[in-house]
Amino acid sequence: RCNGTGRMYETSVEELIGEHARNMLDGEDYSLHGMGREDVDVLSLGTGRPFILEINKPKKRDLSLEIFEKIVNEGAGGKIEVDSLRPSSRKEVPKIKDGTSKKSYRAIISSNKAFDEESLKYNISLLAQSPIRQRTPTRVVHRRADKIRERSIHNIGSKILSDGRAQIDLLTDGGLYIKELLHGDDG
């Protein structure tokens, strides 16, 4: 699956940010501590996702965060963007790693048949009536513990776009697997 590289993906958010900081501070290594995870084909909107970047054994301690933001954003080729950076400390790492959040999603779904608006609204409303129990999906089980997680949908709505297309808007607990919620896990 990795074409002999030993890596699942060409690059990572951690590398796109960390390599620049390691070079600028002449550090040995780096670790990115982020709140949650996101798939490579999902765009994080709004204010983005908080993170803390830790530089191991830096030889330099001064870093202009404004210049650093510019270097990261220019070097990332549009894959990521950082802003509003500030100094942090180790005390904040557990807050980031263990933090709970709500996430908004918009999904466009399609069908071979026209959607019935009443039926669509009723069926999606059923999702928000009780907690969702999901087993770790097969697409991520190689990097996450295989267990059942319980999450909730706080708000859900729908809108018919055309005969065979509808939009679903969700506000959920972080960690709810939206793709599997909408289409199942391998059927």
Question: Which residues pair with residue 162 across a beta bridge?
Answer: 165
Rounded CA separation 17/49 (Å)? 13
Q: Which of 29, 39, 83, 116 does the annotation list as catalytic?
A: 39
> Taking Cα atoms as reference points, which of 50, 48, 182 lies closest to residue 106?
182
Tell me the C-alpha to C-alpha distance, in Å, between residue 47 and each of 6, 23, 34, 44, 82.
32, 27, 14, 8, 10
Rounded CA separation 4/129 (Å)? 46
Examine the residue annotation and report whether 173 is marked as an active-site residue of this protein. Answer: no
Residues assigned a catalytic role: 39
